[in-house]
Amino acid sequence: MKPETRFVHAGMQPDPSTGAIMTPIYQTSTYVQEAPATHKGYEYARSQNPTRKALEDALAEIENGKFGLAFSSGVAATDAVIKLLAPGDEVICANDMYGGTYRLFSKIFERFGIKFIYVDTTDSGNVKNAVTANTKLIWIETPTNPLMNITDIAAVAAVAKANNILLAVDNTFASPALQTPLTLVPI
Ligand SMILES: Cc1ncc(COP(=O)(O)O)c(C=O)c1O
């Protein structure tokens, strides 16, 4: 399928209960269970919700991912990613990032013992040189908000892969219409 067709149909499954083409907005909080843990994949809205699942499947499709996870804001998603880490872990990140991301890192997570090393990621050599035994995550944003600096995702992904480090790409500005980071990582 061409990208425009994939974007239109991404994640769409007729609703199994009614056949509705568009997934309805499910506003229920809890779901019936035949027995404890025996259910149709949905038990409580914070954990699973069919409307959110349709969005997650659509995002996975257009990002060329295996699965998607939706959050109520970008900063909430960033917050969840950093919580994969533990005190003492190091993150290499851009010295030019969205202000909300920088504030989350410097004002909240530094207090919990996570170390952020800020480099000019537009040169992947700077990322490579900043790697230490404690580096657990490389966080890049490309293009950056607001300066539109560009980082070579494939080059940084190669550094991450060679050192067994997680890589996160904030793709907000390009969107998957223009840039799909998951297709730029070495397999
Ligand atoms: C590059 C970038 N990342 C993250 C965010 C945060 O997104 P949200 O406002 O949904 O928390 C923004 C918001 O402008 C952004 O520009």
Q: What is the CATH number of the domain that holds 97?
A: 3.40.640.10
Residues 39, 52: contact at Cβ < 8 Å? no
Atom of ligand 1 nearest to the CA of 77: 11
Q: Is the CB–ligand 1 distance for residue 96 below 6 Å?
A: no
Strands (DSSP E) contained in the chain are: 90-94, 115-119, 135-141, 166-170
Tell me, what's the pLDDT at 98? 98
Residues 167 and 106 occupy one common structural domain: yes
Residues 57 and 94 occupy one common structural domain: no
Q: Which of 50, 70, 90 is the last residue of a domain?
A: 70
Residues 61 and 87 occupy one common structural domain: no
If one residue of 78, 98, 108, 150 were mutated to test the ligand 1 pocket, choosing by the most ligand atoms within 8 A of its CB, it would be 98
Domain boundaries, position 54: 1-70
Residues 112 and 170 occupy one common structural domain: yes
Q: What is the pLDDT averaged over residues 119-135?
A: 98
At 186, is the pLDDT very low, low, confident or very high (cuts 50, 70, 90)?
confident
Tell me, what's the pLDDT at 92? 98
pLDDT digits (tens, 9 = 90+) for 50-103: 999 999 999 999 999 999 999 999 999 999 999 999 999 999 999 999 999 999
Residues 42 and 86 occupy one common structural domain: no
Q: Is the CB–ligand 1 distance for residue 75 below 6 Å?
A: yes
Q: Is the pLDDT of residue 187 over 80?
A: no
* Number of structural domains in the chain: 2
